[in-house]
Amino acid sequence: MLPKKTTTIIKRTLARTAQRITPIDRKDPDEKLGQLFHEVQSHRVFADGKTFVDLVPRKRATRILQEYRLARRDPNFRLDEFVKLHFYEFESPIKKVSFVQADSARQHVTNLWPLLIRRAHKSKGSLIALPHDYVVPGGRFAEQFYWDTYFIMLGLAVDGKWKLIDGMMKNYVYMIQRFDFIPTANRTYFLSRSQPPFFAAMVKLLASKPGRRAPSLTYLEYFPSLLAEYKFWMKGQRKLSSIDFMATNRVVAMPDGQVLNRYYDDKATPRPESRREDIETARNSRSANKAKVYLDLRAGAESGWDFSSRWFNDPHDIETIMTTDLVPVDLNCLLYELEMTIAHCYGVLRQAPLKKRFIRLAERRAESIRQHCWNETDGFFYDYNFRTGHQTSHATLAGVFPLYSGIATKKQAKHVAEKLEREFLRDGGLRMTLVDNGQQWDAPNGWAPLQWVAVCGLKRYGLNELAEEIRKRWLASTERVFADQGKMIEKYDVDSESRIGGGGEYPLQDGFGWTNGVYAALYDRFDERCPR
């Protein structure tokens, strides 16, 4: 039980929050717009499928559909004109700022923050209102994305923008209270899936604010939300006691009796924002179970690695995707951290039995990760296929998460470092995988969040020389692109001279939230405050 005073404060905060938020229709755009939605996406009215699902209807969906059925009878009917007439692009209000082009990438990041701040106190179309201002990644991503936010917060912390961090945290408390979990982002079409669970890391970051007198109060404030987050990821655990269930929802029964987790989605249909691509993938797949293909695509999106050879049976073919068959090493390391954070909260509350219980849960998870994901021959951590009972054969940068979370032994950490230096490290930083197949989360691309995870993980085990080399090379890549193009981008090609990343379902985006955050944090040596 929380102290009465703390409970009262939380309830009052949520009550004030609720008063500022308008009701939303939780239906996805494809559910509301039916045939019209199918026609718009399949006929490529917009090059990027996310564009249409983000538009705001000028009338009720039922009225638009009625007018559509009548209008399409006209031989001169033009679908693009109809869409332009009945929908509009909503641009969330931003604060008026005068932007001055900076001479350095570091100053550029500081100048960018005001341009990436959004506020949405009213729901519009698929956009879900939030009570506080938030920072968006940029480009096509105009929402508060879950795991992006943690890496954005690193940069905000370096620049002293703690009030903004606090508001974004309260947005997540609001979403947990409203939806029982943190969705991918504040869009209705994301309400069936989450993203890598970095909420516990966000709480730790906020508690580390310089000058904060009582960090324990921060943990208590967010304790109910941490428990709700854990409940979401462990939903269905009781079903695993039946021999009929090897896995359900996001939980998996391992051979040793331990319960680990997987990425999942509550729907098995094409993603509204990528409907055309998903239908094509399922159509070309040899799998007779198209719903399973859609589920695996959605689960791959929940992982944040959308898409990567990591999730494919054939590393060069997305049509062999099998995300929900895998126990991802990174996800389970993050849930280990969540369990340890909950244990810490129970310790603050002086509830020793519950503290011990969650420490045991975390320790058992760590042992199971080492048992099933560690490959002694390769000296690296892999994802585990619970259907086949074997590890996957694809080495990915997710293998550094056991170092980041402190799960690896010292010997394992040393072997991981050797493989990173030998096979993953390039002139521009660490590549995501060893496979070059055109997917954006594969070679030769490097992404900011995994550079941070690697640097912090290596430092945790005293492997400082390699950590520093990765740090320097990544900063140099970011600065090279800034010098050439005057911008920060979503992903970088760590092999090419230009360093411009590519691949994936959409054009390269700039902005860019987590690139900015990680760059600022590494530049200002914030990595000295990596988790220990």
Q: Any idea which residues carry the catalytic annotation?
A: 306, 490
Q: Distance (Å, rounded) from C-alpha 461 to C-alpha 216?
A: 26
* Residue 61 host element (H or E): helix 61-71
- Nearest one of 142, 432, 456 to 305, comparing CA atoms: 432
* Residue 428: strand, helix, or coil: coil
Tokens describing residue 524:
């200002």
Which one-letter DSSP state was computed for residue 467? H
Tokens matching residue 338: 């969540």
Residue 240 DSSP symbol: G
Residue count of the chain: 532
Write the DSSP string, 139-204. Answer: TTB-S--HHHHHHHHHHHHHTT-HHHHHHHHHHHHHHHHHHSS--SSSBGGGTT---S--HHHHHH
Burial class (CB in 10 A: 0-12, 13-18, 19+), 110: middle
Please give the distance of CA 358 from its chain centroid, rounded to a whole number: 25
CA–CA separation, 163 and 131 (whole Å): 14
Tokens 């730790």 sit on residue? 204
Whose structure tokens read 């740090």? 471
- Measured torsion, CA atoms of residues 122, 124, 127, 133, in degrees rounded to the nearest 10: -30
Task: Identify whether the C-beta of residue 433 lies closer than 8 Å to the C-beta of residue 309.
Answer: yes
